Amino acid sequence: MTLVVEERTLQLQHCMYQYSRAIYRSVKDMIDPYGDRESQLESRRAVLEACEQTMERLANDPLYFAKPDRALFQDIRRHFPITFQSDVAWAVTQGVHAATQFIEEQIEAGALDGGVARCRATTRKGKPCQRTPLPERDYCPSHQHLEARAAA
């Protein structure tokens, strides 16, 4: 892995963490208010963990994770009273949708493709170059002249 890839991965992880916190924040106050303090804390922990796991899986496997919002909701719904189920489902859908959109943008920008780095150049057809960059570089062999230009 090159430094650039590691930086991107870190950045992505940071963003996914923000998304999982946002989802957690949007539902945490709806966690079953009738349980005792301990079970409430346990529920909070479980919900937070489920949010994080969903975002992690989404980041690692964006193309093959079908219906992540439904998966997350199924994971956490038992921690919420019946009266809040539809609100929780809505919040989860919104939050996961935002994260999915972000990931899709990353893939389109060529910054992410199953963790594999892509050349940063744009082809003559205006599409991101799909080739693998040279080691420690941002560009593939056919576009390496662009790197020299960027550095100059």
* Residues near Zn ion, by CB under 5 A: 119, 121, 129, 131, 140, 143
For Zn ion, which is the closer residue by CB, 16 or 129? Answer: 129
Q: What are residue 128's DSSP bridge partners? A: 122
- C-alpha distance across the termini of the chain, in Å: 24
For Zn ion, which is the closer residue by CB, 55 or 119? Answer: 119
Smallest distance from Zn ion to CB 122, Å:
9
Smallest distance from Zn ion to CB 146, Å:
8
For Zn ion, which is the closer residue by CB, 79 or 143? Answer: 143
d(CA 141, CA 36): 62
Smallest distance from Zn ion to CB 119, Å:
3
Instruction: Provide the 10 A C-beta neighbour count for residue 74.
Output: 13
d(CA 73, CA 93): 8
Smallest distance from Zn ion to CB 124, Å:
11
Residue 148 near residue 141, CB atoms below 8 Å:
no
Helix axes 85-108, 37-60, angle to 10 degrees: 30
For Zn ion, which is the closer residue by CB, 82 or 151? Answer: 151
Smallest distance from Zn ion to CB 127, Å:
11
For Zn ion, which is the closer residue by CB, 69 or 138? Answer: 138
d(CA 5, CA 35): 45
